[in-house]
Structure formats: structure tokens, C-alpha cells
């Protein structure tokens, strides 16, 4: 898609999110969480480009969330907490990445899963520090030095989430077209050739991995600031699976996919849980099955195909 | 001047001696063909020179510098490139992108925001593809090409690295007989223009006799004969052992 079309679509999507959040106030929170998860899924999309699936990225999301929870009392400022949490997530991403970027396919996926579960156990078991399954309450934080009312704060976080989504979306879009991004998808089909061209494949993957951890960190910080309560459930393996689920649901073909997938996922979950409390997971499972079988490009792919068909008609 | 010098290379896989004391000097600017039956160790030699395999004994010098133990990535930086018997293309990329990625590998890869297909690289990729007569398929995805185009793209990627020495593993295998000569003609013209020294494994004796400056005959991990095609390809022992033709002289010698 052209840059112009993408820009228009971005503005429309942002306007839609803002309008919906204004019309249905309680959806503001749902939207913020969805976009926050979308940021983490954007990282999953990067790794998918390299043919690698991480079943452990909730590690970075939850790590950042806990950084916010621990530090909020000392640094009660959103605009400091969020970058701090993201940088911590990226730093741990670098350490872990040095190790996991040596592995591919199922080993890559499972190592990520294992490490995230180690972190989950630490959160769950070290009660003295983490308060275990009770979790930690995040104290009230200021936004750009101003202590906002809960209503204003939720708007501020939603807009911050949107700004981050647009910023990272634009960055990842450029990244995928850059030499580093091209080498990333080249790694998927012919990794050995990269080495014979002088391109260090492992470092290419590591760069994407650290970026993905950074974005997941931003998402995790937003979740902690919005929910104002963090628990080990954020790090549980199902949370990582959820990110992969959203990536497939939204489609890995475009940077819009993760956010589209995340919004669809959160809205379906919210409404389906209210309407058919016991069956919402079944509904999501069926949707995923249909997407995998009939629309491997995800919701983004479906939407695109409809637009193309509409133009041809 | 000697560009590449191999001395006493040995490498065995279990009991199979893929290299059993290979001594070979490659002269700057020449086209050296490697011929020999399957399993003689031709590809093993290329793999040792390009860092994919490490010889158990022996030395390789390139431009006076020892090579053994260096990773493929380092060797590319020194000016050694290779192409593959089974073309190793990035299947989800277009032909132009495949070549541009090689240019990026040479010029500076670590840019997360400037496009791969920036105008200068795009122009260079187009230029390289034009030299290989591949301009028509520049925008085709690599997984949609026929074997001849795949081979040439594979070599174009190696050439885009601006090597001084290129090692090609069977550049015409799998290519239709009718296409073979024209592909090699293109290849030789490009490499001669760029002043690249070439070592290539080849089974087609017609190609070898027309395009090689010298021929090295591989047999059971050793070099059985080495010299200009006119002399080597008429050697009765070579004809019998490598090409499988019995001559009267060869018969008498045996």
C-alpha cells in the first residue's frame, strides 16, 4: 500500500478509536489495553517475518508492567515510568536474545516460553517482594507533571497508546523495507546465504528481538498504568499465546494487522464474555480456526481483499 | 600473480577422503574449471575455500593471507564470493531485492529506516541485472523463476558483492541444454568486464573447453590433472576416468 493510503487509514483508525471511546466511555479502557497488546504483537510480527514464533513475549510485557508497579511510588510520572520500563524490557531482551537468537523454529519458541515461565514462577513464588498472586497495586501517577482525574488519566493513556502505536507502526513499516528488515525476512528463507553475503544473521534476528522486547515493554507499561494492578497472570504462558493468537488473527502482512487483531480480540472478548460468559473462548477459537483455514492473511488480509474486490467491481 | 593458493588440503568424512592433499594455485584473472566425477571432492574444495568447511590439514592463502578458520562472513569481506549448485535465493523477495540485499551487505546493512530499494542501490541492482540480461524479471519473486534465471540471479548476487574471486558450484547444472552456452557467455562477459577471477565446477565439457583458461581434474580427493583445456581434455586418462570415453591411446596406456 502507498504511504498516502496508509496515512489516511491510520488517521481514520485513530479517529474511530477516539470516537468509540467518547461514545462508549467504558470502552476507553478496553481500547487502551488492546492498543497496548497491539504494541507487543507488533514485535511478534517482526519475529514472524524471520519465521520465528516466540511463545514467551509476555515476559517483556509483564516485566515492564512490574517495573512500573515497583517504581511508581518513587517516580510517579507516566512519561518517565513508561520509557524506563521499556528500556528495562529491552535490556533483558538483549540478554535473553543473545541466547535465544542462536536457536530456530520450535527451539526458539520453546526457549522463550520456558524463560517467561521462569519469570512467572519468580513473580508467583517470591511473595515477600512481588506479593505473589495478589499482585501489586500501582499508585496514582502524574502525567507530564499534572495529577489528572481518573477520567482525564484514562484519556491521557489512550492518547499516549495511540501516539505510541502510530509511532512504532510507522517505524516498523520503515524497518521492514530497510536492509535490516529485508535481511530479517531473508533469514526465513535462506539463512545460510546471508552468511555467505557477509550478513550476520544472528545479529539481524537479535536486533529485531530487542526491538520487539522494547515494544512489548511499552505495551506492558501501558497495561500497568491503565489497570493499576499487576499480577503474575501477565507473565503466564497463556498471555504469550494470546499475543501470537492476535498476530495470526490480525495478520502478519501489515503493521495494521496487530492493532486490528488486538482490537477485534479485546472487543470480542469483552462482548462475548458478557453475552455468553462460558463460551467466549470457544467463539475466539472458532474465529482463529476460520482465519487459519480460509484467510491466512488474517483480518487485515480479509479487509484488503474486500477493498481490492470493491475497486475491481 | 597467484590470488589463491591451497597447499596440502585434507578433509575426510568418516572413511571418505573428500580432500586428500589438494595443492592448487589460482592465478589472478583466470577462469579455472574444476571437473571430475560425483563425489570426487569438488564442492568440498569450494566449501573449504569459502569457510563452510575447515580442512583437517593444509593451508589456504588468499592474496598472501591465511584463510583457514575464518568464517564465511569474514571471507566475503576479503573479496571471496560464491554461488551455489542449488541456487540460494531469498524466495519471498523479488530478483531486484535479492541483488539489492547483496549490495546492502557490501555497502552498509545497519540502517533500520532507510529503504533497501533506495535510488542508488536500486540503480546499481538494475545495472547488474541488465548485465545478466535479467532486467525483464527484476520485479518477479524469486520463487517463480525457472532454473536458468535462478542460477543467474544467484550469481548476480555474488557479483553484487564486488568480489575479486568468485567460486561457482555447477553454474549450468539443471539448466536446459539449449540455454547453457548463452548463460555461460553472459556470465563470462560480466566476470571478465568486472575483472573477477573465477573458479567453477562444471560437468559440461563443451562449456569447459570454450570458457576455461585452465582445467583441474578432481579424482578421489586429489587433483589428477591440471592445465589448459586443450591439453587436459585430450589426455586419454582424463577421457577415460572423468568423461568415460575409451580412446585407443588410453586403452593402450591402461
* pLDDT tens digits, one per residue of A5-60: 888 888 999 999 899 989 988 899 999 999 999 999 999 999 999 999 999 999 99
Q: Which residue of B has its CA nearest to A187?
A: B90
Query: What is the average pLDDT across A95-105?
Result: 93
Judged against a pLDDT cut of 80, whether residue A173 lies above it is answered with yes
CA dihedral A46→A47→A49→A53, nearest 10 degrees, is -140
Question: Residue ranges per domain, chain B?
Answer: 2-253
CB contact under 8 A, B116 and A182: yes
Q: Does B120 touch chain A (CB under 8 A)?
A: no
Which range in A29-38, B166-175, B204-213 is most confidently predicted, on average pLDDT?
A: A29-38
The rounded distance, in Å, linking the Cα atoms of A142 and A148 is 7
Judged against a pLDDT cut of 70, whether residue B246 lies above it is answered with no
b/e sequence B59-85, b meaning 16+ C-beta within 10 Å: ebbbbeeebbebebbebbebbbbbbbb
Q: How far is CA A153 from CA A15, A143, B223, in A?
A: 19, 8, 78
Q: How far is CA A11 from CA A6, A7, A159, A163, A193, in A?
A: 9, 6, 13, 11, 40
Predicted local distance difference test score (pLDDT) of residue B245: 65
Q: Does A178 touch chain B (CB under 8 A)?
A: yes
The rounded distance, in Å, linking the Cα atoms of A14 and A163 is 9
**Which of the residue ranges A25-29, A68-72, A294-298 would you say has the lowest mean pLDDT?**
A294-298
Predicted local distance difference test score (pLDDT) of residue B247: 56
Q: Which has more confidence, A133 or A45?
A: A45
Predicted local distance difference test score (pLDDT) of residue A90: 97
Give the model confidence (pLDDT) of B82-102 as tens digits: 998 888 999 999 999 999 999
**Which of the residue ranges A41-50, A128-137, B19-28 would you say has the lowest mean pLDDT?**
A128-137
Q: Which has more confidence, A177 or A281?
A: A177
Q: Which alpha helices (H) appear in chain A, and where do they start and end?
A: 3-23, 27-49, 58-71, 78-100, 105-125, 127-130, 150-177, 179-196, 201-227, 237-250, 256-275, 280-294, 298-312
Give the model confidence (pLDDT) of A195-217 as tens digits: 899 899 999 999 999 999 999 99
Query: Best interface-test mutation with A: which of B70, B94, B113 has the largest number of A CBs within 10 A?
Result: B113
**CA distance, residue B234 to nearest chain A CA (Å):** 36
Q: What ipTM is given for this predicted complex?
A: 0.86
Q: How many CA atoms lie within 13 A of A85 on its CB side?
A: 33
Judged against a pLDDT cut of 60, whether residue B22 lies above it is answered with yes
**Superfamily per CATH, domain B2-253:** P-loop containing nucleotide triphosphate hydrolases (3.40.50.300)
Predicted local distance difference test score (pLDDT) of residue B253: 44
> Looking at the partner chain, which of B76, B91, B114 has a beta carbon nearest the beta carbon of A196?
B76
**CA distance, residue A127 to nearest chain B CA (Å):** 42
Query: What is the average pLDDT across A119-130?
Result: 88
Per-residue confidence band for A85, with pLDDT thresholds at 50, 70 and 90: very high
Q: Which has more confidence, A285 or A61?
A: A61
Judged against a pLDDT cut of 60, whether residue B251 lies above it is answered with no
Predicted local distance difference test score (pLDDT) of residue B250: 44
Judged against a pLDDT cut of 80, whether residue B137 lies above it is answered with yes
CB contact under 8 A, B101 and A197: yes
Q: Which residue of B has its CA nearest to A51?
A: B92
Please state, rounded to an integer, the average pLDDT across all residues of chain B.
88
> Looking at the partner chain, which of A179, A186, A197 has a beta carbon nearest the beta carbon of B161?
A197
Structural contact between residues A182 and B104, judged by C-beta atoms closer than 8 angstroms: yes
Judged against a pLDDT cut of 50, whether residue B115 lies above it is answered with yes
Give the model confidence (pLDDT) of A302-311 as tens digits: 888 888 888 7
Residue B147: which H helix or E strand, with range?
Answer: helix B147-160
Predicted local distance difference test score (pLDDT) of residue B148: 84
Please state, rounded to an integer, the average pLDDT across all residues of chain A.
90
Predicted local distance difference test score (pLDDT) of residue A53: 94
Judged against a pLDDT cut of 50, whether residue B28 lies above it is answered with yes
Amino acid at each position: 500500500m502507498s504511504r498516502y493510503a496508509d496515512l489516511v487509514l491510520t488517521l481514520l483508525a485513530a479517529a474511530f478509536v477516539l470516537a468509540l471511546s467518547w461514545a462508549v466511555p467504558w470502552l476507553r479502557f478496553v481500547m487502551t489495553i488492546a492498543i497496548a497488546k497491539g504494541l507487543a504483537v507488533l514485535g511478534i510480527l517482526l519475529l514472524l517475518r524471520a519465521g520465528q514464533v516466540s511463545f514467551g513475549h509476555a515476559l517483556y510485557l509483564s516485566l515492564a508492567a512490574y517495573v512500573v508497579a515497583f517504581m511508581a511510588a518513587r517516580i510517579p510520572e507516566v512519561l518517565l515510568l513508561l520509557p524506563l520500563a521499556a528500556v528495562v524490557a529491552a535490556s533483558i531482551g538483549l540478554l535473553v536474545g543473545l541466547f535465544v537468537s542462536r536457536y530456530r523454529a520450535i527451539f526458539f519458541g520453546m526457549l522463550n516460553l520456558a524463560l517467561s515461565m521462569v519469570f512467572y514462577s519468580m513473580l508467583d513464588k517470591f511473595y515477600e517482594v512481588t506479593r505473589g498472586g495478589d499482585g501489586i497495586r500501582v499508585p496514582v501517577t502524574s502525567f507530564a507533571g499534572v495529577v489528572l482525574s481518573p477520567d482525564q488519566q484514562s484519556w491521557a493513556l489512550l492518547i499516549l497508546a495511540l501516539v505510541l502505536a502510530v509511532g512504532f507502526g510507522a517505524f516498523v513499516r520503515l524497518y521492514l523495507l530497510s536492509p535490516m528488515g529485508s535481511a530479517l525476512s531473508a533469514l526465513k528463507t535462506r539463512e545460510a546465504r546471508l552468511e555467505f553475503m557477509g550478513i550476520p544473521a544472528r545479529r539481524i534476528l537479535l536486533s529485531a528481538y530487542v526491538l520487539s522486547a522494547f515494544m512489548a515493554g511499552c505495551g506492558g507499561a501501558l497495561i500497568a498504568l491503565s489497570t493499576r494492578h499487576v499480577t503474575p497472570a501477565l507473565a503466564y504462558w497463556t498471555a504469550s499465546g494470546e499475543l501470537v493468537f492476535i498476530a495470526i488473527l490480525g495478520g502478519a502482512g501489515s503493521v495494521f494487522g496487530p492493532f486490528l487483531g488486538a482490537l477485534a480480540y479485546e472487543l470480542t472478548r469483552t462482548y462475548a464474555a458478557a453475552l455468553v460468559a462460558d463460551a467466549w473462548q470457544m467463539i475466539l477459537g472458532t474465529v482463529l480456526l476460520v482465519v487459519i483455514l480460509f484467510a491466512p492473511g488474517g483480518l487485515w488480509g480479509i479487509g484488503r481483499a474486500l477493498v481490492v474486490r470493491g475497486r475491481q467491481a | 600473480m597467484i590470488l589463491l593458493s591451497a597447499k596440502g588440503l585434507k578433509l575426510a568424512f568418516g572413511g571418505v577422503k573428500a580432500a586428500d592433499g589438494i595443492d592448487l594455485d589460482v592465478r589472478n584473472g583466470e577462469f579455472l574449471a574444476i571437473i571430475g566425477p560425483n563425489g570426487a571432492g569438488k564442492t568440498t574444495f569450494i566449501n573449504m575455500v569459502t569457510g563452510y568447511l575447515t580442512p583437517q590439514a593444509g593451508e589456504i592463502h588468499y592474496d598472501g593471507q591465511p584463510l583457514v578458520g575464518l568464517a564465511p562472513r569474514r571471507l566475503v569481506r576479503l573479496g571471496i564470493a560464491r554461488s551455489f549448485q542449488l541456487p540460494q535465493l531469498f524466495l519471498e523477495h523479488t530478483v531486484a531485492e535479492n541483488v539489492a540485499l547483496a549490495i546492502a551487505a557490501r555497502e552498509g546493512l545497519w540502517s533500520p529506516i532507510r529503504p533497501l530499494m533506495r535510488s542508488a542501490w536500486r540503480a546499481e541492482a538494475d545495472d547488474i541485472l541488465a548485465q545478466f540480461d535479467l532486467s525483464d524479471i527484476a520485479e518477479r519473486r524469486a520463487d517463480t523463476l525457472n532454473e536458468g534465471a535462478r542460477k543467474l540471479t544467484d550469481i548476480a548476487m555474488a557479483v553484487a558483492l564486488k568480489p575479486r574471486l568468485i567460486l561457482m558450484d555447477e553454474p549450468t547444472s539443471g539448466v536446459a541444454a539449449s540455454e547453457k552456452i548463452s548463460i555461460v557467455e553472459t556470465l563470462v562477459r560480466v566476470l571478465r568486464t568486472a575483472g573477477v577471477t573465477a573458479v567453477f565446477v562444471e560437468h559440461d565439457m563443451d562449456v569447459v573447453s570454450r570458457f576455461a583458461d585452465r582445467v583441474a581434474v578432481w579424482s578421489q580427493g586429489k587433483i589428477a590433472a591440471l592445465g589448459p583445456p586443450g591439453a587436459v581434455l585430450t589426455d586419454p586418462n582424463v577421457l577415460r576416468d572423468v568423461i568415460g570415453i575409451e580412446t585407443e591411446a588410453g586403452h593402450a596406456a591402461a
